[in-house]
Structure 1
């Protein structure tokens, strides 16, 4: 006799509801690849996701609701991943997780304001629709339907690697295909971040025992002051002194003893990667090695300098391990007056003035600015609202192309403000009557809806050329030029050479009269033996890109 168990519903409609609910998981990858016009990958991604999540149906054929219950974490993460893709063109990856771990509520609000109401409404609608769909799904499905779903899923699962254009063995293609789709992509990213955190902790003793054996290459007397300024989201081509049509650098354009290099590249596409690469010089190919060694801060400390780290950012994780090397730290200006939940970079100049007044005759100072970090309009005061209309008066969403001109006006105002900040720092240091230098390099650039991809900001997994090409400035005092004229001549000779953040740790100490065994003359811009650097940048998921290949 036929079963009367109403918990079993083998109708086509009920099976369709089940497929729709599971199919929702595939919407993330499908949306991302369609938005980037990779339609074949959109189809493959959707099929891979469906096959992966339909495979267990046969084993849960008598407890379908239990299987859906086990998928609750996936359904919770799904709208977050989809929102990241729709709003910022970026699926959740290792860089996203690092940013989440190392940010604060104020930065999050700056990024998401304007989106919050629509996000809340969308999440509520999503939850309601999901609930109604799941109610339509039976507790059990027939063995025959379960077998059909299982056979189809296994077939797709095993056949997809054969239609992949990527190289490698069959099992490598299989692994790549299913590690690159949601939610296994998030698990993969989480595992990568966990491994980095574990490596960071396990390398602590090795890092603490690291020695540069740095020393002065000649006897120097008198006061010595050297600064490394780490900029934020500043791109090369939006500085007037680099040829930009707008007057974004009215002060630095007039500075003497000032060099702007034309072909410098960032080491990483986000701050959490770029800053450690800059201060350690390990290179984008060897990012994990930065855990195992100290930074330029300790190099100067070994040579008898008193060291400082002044920061206007929330420097955690990868960056913090090197901040801790400094003798004195002024982080996020916790003792200063906040400005709309953030601190403006001119406040750093006030702290620097106090540092320069301290008694030590040899100082090395790292200054990490907020620069041009979004929200652009918050980074500068009203008197620097030069290009209008800006987000000071017209509110827009961070990735809304309709307000491109407003966003660019706001961004350019941050450059003008950075120009004033750097110029003020030079003025302070120049009054020290010291053998002194100031080196400025931005951590990475910024996307500003530059082409048909409509990219904004900088967290897109594959860096663009606008992210890689960064401003790199050097100012030197008259005493330094008189002491090391050949070094300055070599700097000027290589103003158009290929340079990356990797060159900082080889160049800045040399310019300061320091030497150490691992200093590479081929990477030292003050050396007669310097050669063009191979410019590489670290993107998401541990992928390294040649800058010259970026679009």
Structure 2
């Protein structure tokens, strides 16, 4: 009798996970290029471990038989409705998607409904109904069952894997729905201060363009002496200065951007709950402030971006995980110059840049260096292919910045472009790759400044002082103070000695 019950349990959970895989979890894997046999094997193992961990949570939930039989089918169909978009559009179930679901007006939401979506939901609902009717008399789980101990091991697997590799499971369905919903409701770590002073500037028609890059290390720019020509266009631009010795201790965006865009210093350990946004100060000085981004906002810097008077996130439902993520040149479709508008302005362009998976950041005409990677599994590729693909993203960046500069040359305003990457990238040093880990290779971000002829005529001293500092070692603290110095902001205390223009 006990063996029969165990068989029923195993059969119930096995079929349930077949349905989970078909309607939900495989959606997180179908868009991956596996590459080699080893890559296929690794991702298959990842898929099995994910399901093993899910088995643990579902089994424990199923101990509450009546609640489980009512709630699980509802949750299943809800998750299925989201997995449809991952399957068909390679959308990412991130904080931005959760925000859109919870905040979008009903009439807008209705526009997303299609015949295919309805059919997918009806099919998944039908499968759930048939499943629970077929197993309605089954003894599906018990604390006394041997499967209970295996379920505990499954739950433990989730935490062990996540501890070993952060977000290994949290970025996959269905976990990402839960964890990104939690993130959505979490309060940010930074509490932004209001600026009560009567801040002002006597400057007119200054346009600061701040381009925030992603994962670009300074020593892979040919402008800084890199052997490969990763800057064929920028090397031809005059009025361009590259700073090769910039330091940040922060190796991922959620940490680095709040520091770069506020008055937080890299040495301030206790000030993360009390900071002033760069844009708040500029708003008070009557600057127009606009943010055009190609990255989904994270809670650590969302409020900083919201302190701009104009905000636009393009392609917000495709994160860096997606193969359909918009290329950065699409940012420029929303970036325009209007010299007829009198006043000062700062425009910030936030790039997806050189974030992994490198091949998806460029179009094929920028694949100068060969061979390139063919799999998202790092260790399926050679070091040569990985670096080639990374360097190709820098050639794309070179083109992007060159297009922006050519646009700015047509403006009659006094214009400065500052490009700074949020952090660098580790490319095989000590066996490490990518970023978000402690290594000096991730702590030397690229930084460039371009200035218009009009700006140099008006501020020759600022330009001379900046040129004199191009070989200095500086930290990312410089950005906040340099921008305020550029705008000649009065009646707000900032550290002019930190400005590269002072």
Mapped partners of 1:368, 1:229: distance in 2:
6
Contact 2:260 2:479 in 1 (8 A): yes
2:404 to 415, 425, 428: 425
User: What pairs with 1:520-539 in structure 2 (closer than 5 Å)?
Assistant: 520-527=495-502
Residue 390 of structure 1 is matched in structure 2 by 372
User: What pairs with 1:306-455 in structure 2 (closer than 5 Å)?
Assistant: 306-333=288-315, 340-353=323-336, 356=338, 359=341, 361-391=343-373, 395-400=374-379, 402-450=381-429, 453-455=430-432
Contact 2:203 2:487 in 1 (8 A): no
Mapped partners of 2:303, 2:346: distance in 1:
18
- Which secondary structure state, in structure 1, belongs to the residue aligned with residue 238 of structure 2? coil
Mapped partners of 1:258, 1:413: distance in 2:
21
Residue 66 of structure 1 is matched in structure 2 by none
Q: Could you tell me which runs of 5 or more consecutive residues in structure 1 were left unpaired when the two chains were aligned.
A: 1-104, 140-180, 528-551
Check 1:402–1:433 CA distance in 2 against 1; reply closer, same or farther (3 A cut). Answer: same
Give 1:197 shift.
8.1
Residue 476 of structure 1 is matched in structure 2 by 451
Check 1:420–1:447 CA distance in 2 against 1; reply closer, same or farther (3 A cut). Answer: same
Check 1:467–1:482 CA distance in 2 against 1; reply closer, same or farther (3 A cut). Answer: same
Residue 266 of structure 1 is matched in structure 2 by 248
User: What pairs with 1:84-99 in structure 2 (closer than 5 Å)?
Assistant: none
Residue 27 of structure 1 is matched in structure 2 by none
- Which secondary structure state, in structure 1, belongs to the residue aligned with residue 188 of structure 2? helix
Mapped partners of 1:296, 1:202: distance in 2:
14
Check 1:118–1:202 CA distance in 2 against 1; reply closer, same or farther (3 A cut). Answer: closer
Mapped partners of 2:436, 2:317: distance in 1:
31
Q: What does the per-residue CA deviation read over 1:430-463, in whole Å, with 9 as the maximum and x for residues that have no partner?
A: 211111101111001111112xx31011022xx2
Q: What does the per-residue CA deviation read over 1:448-479, in whole Å, with 9 as the maximum and x for residues that have no partner?
A: 112xx31011022xx21110011111111112
Mapped partners of 2:267, 2:53: distance in 1:
41
Contact 1:306 1:360 in 2 (8 A): no
Q: Does 1:513 align with 2:495?
A: no
- Which secondary structure state, in structure 2, belongs to the residue aligned with residue 119 of structure 1? helix
Give 1:516 shift.
4.5
Give 1:396 shift.
2.2
Give 1:123 shift.
4.9
Q: What does the per-residue CA deviation read over 1:507-548, in whole Å, with 9 as the maximum and x for residues that have no partner?
A: 122123334532113312222xxxxxxxxxxxxxxxxxxxxx
RMSD: 3.9
Q: Does 1:220 align with 2:195?
A: no
Q: Could you tell me which runs of 5 or more consecutive residues in structure 2 were left unpaired when the two chains were aligned.
A: 1-26, 60-143, 150-158, 171-179
Give 1:135 shift.
7.0
Check 1:110–1:284 CA distance in 2 against 1; reply closer, same or farther (3 A cut). Answer: farther
Q: Does 1:119 align with 2:46?
A: yes
- Which secondary structure state, in structure 1, belongs to the residue aligned with residue 477 of structure 2? helix
Mapped partners of 1:108, 1:514: distance in 2:
52
- Which secondary structure state, in structure 1, belongs to the residue aligned with residue 445 of structure 2? strand
Give 1:120 shift.
1.8
Mapped partners of 2:183, 2:44: distance in 1:
36
Q: What does the per-residue CA deviation read over 1:328-374, in whole Å, with 9 as the maximum and x for residues that have no partner?
A: 111134699x9942011111122112x54783532211111011001
Contact 2:251 2:423 in 1 (8 A): yes
Give 1:423 shift.
1.0
Q: What does the per-residue CA deviation read over 1:81-111, in whole Å, with 9 as the maximum and x for residues that have no partner?
A: xxxxxxxxxxxxxxxxxxxxxxxx9999669
* Higher mean displacement: 431-440 or 396-405: 396-405
Mapped partners of 1:526, 1:107: distance in 2:
49
Aligned length: 362
